[in-house]
């Protein structure tokens, strides 16, 4: 694009963002350098800070800056219920319904054999340890109703049922093929009540 080497490097770096191709990356770099250099510096610092400070909750595996996340630190929740979700965004969607007061385990992904994502990558071992802590009696598998989410739910259910736990799945109120993050609150709330 230019003889500005650091500009080309910036465009290459922006292309590592999901959903950003060559044209978008050039447009982003142009915008930042021409119109929002302060934004570029804010973003640079934010990336550095997040990489240094964000890690995984030792109990539920979501992102946190503390040893335990805010939800896991809350003693008012129902310790007999554990909801398993794919991402923090899915957890946030469940929380917004106000219909679930148990704890969570966040897989931070889903099984995807074609992409080389296996049971170890979604922390299945850690989930089994969490679910067999002696307090949890029901695990509600709230993975997405996509092919990969269903396969993930199946593997989790197998692993937990063999250890004597009750495993339920969000009811089919959630439209097949959709991702929780985009489903309206009422549908999620009904699906939670009708879990089977």
When the beta carbons of 55 and 101 are compared against a copy of itself, the nearer one is 55
Among a copy of itself, Zn ion, none, what binds residue 59 when CB lies within 5 to 8 Å by partner kind? Zn ion
> With CB under 8 A, what is the number of residues at the site for a copy of itself?
59
Is 79 an interacting residue with respect to a copy of itself (CB under 8 A)? no
Site map (CB under 8 A) of a copy of itself, residues 24-43, x = contact: x-xxxxxxxxx-xx-xxxxx
Q: Would you list the DSSP string of 23-54? A: HHHHHHHHHHHHH-HHHHHHHHHHHHHHHHH-
Q: Which of 47, 79, 129, 147 binds a copy of itself (CB under 8 A)?
A: 47
- Quote the least distance from Cβ 29 to a copy of itself, whole Å: 7
Is 178 an interacting residue with respect to a copy of itself (CB under 8 A)? no
- Helix (H/G/I), strand (E/B), else coil: 141: strand
Per CB under 8 A, contacts with a copy of itself among 117-136 are none
- For 150, the token pair is 């269903």
User: Residue 8 contacts by C-beta under 8 Å, 6 or more apart in sequence?
Assistant: 1, 2
Separation CA 192–CA 178 (nearest Å): 16
């Amino acid at each position: 694009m230019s003889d500005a080497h650091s500009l080309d490097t910036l465009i290459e770096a922006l292309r590592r963002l999901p959903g950003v191709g060559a044209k978008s990356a050039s447009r982003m770099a142009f915008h930042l350098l021409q119109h929002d250099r302060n934004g570029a510096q804010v973003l640079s610092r934010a990336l550095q800070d997040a990489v240094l400070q964000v890690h995984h909750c030792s109990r539920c595996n979501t992102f946190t800056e503390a040893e335990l996340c805010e939800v896991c630190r809350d003693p008012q929740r129902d310790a007999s219920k554990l909801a398993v979700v794919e991402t923090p965004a899915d957890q946030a969607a469940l929380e917004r319904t106000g219909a679930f007061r148990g704890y969570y385990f966040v897989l931070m992904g889903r099984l995807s054999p074609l992409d080389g994502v296996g049971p170890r990558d979604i922390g299945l071992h850690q989930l089994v340890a969490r679910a067999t802590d002696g307090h949890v009696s029901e695990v509600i598998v709230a993975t997405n109703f996509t092919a990969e989410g269903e396969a993930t739910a199946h593997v989790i259910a197998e692993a937990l049922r063999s250890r004597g736990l009750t495993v339920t799945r969000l009811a089919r109120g959630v439209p097949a093929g959709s991702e929780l993050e985009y489903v309206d609150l009422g549908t999620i709330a009904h699906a939670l009540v009708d879990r089977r």
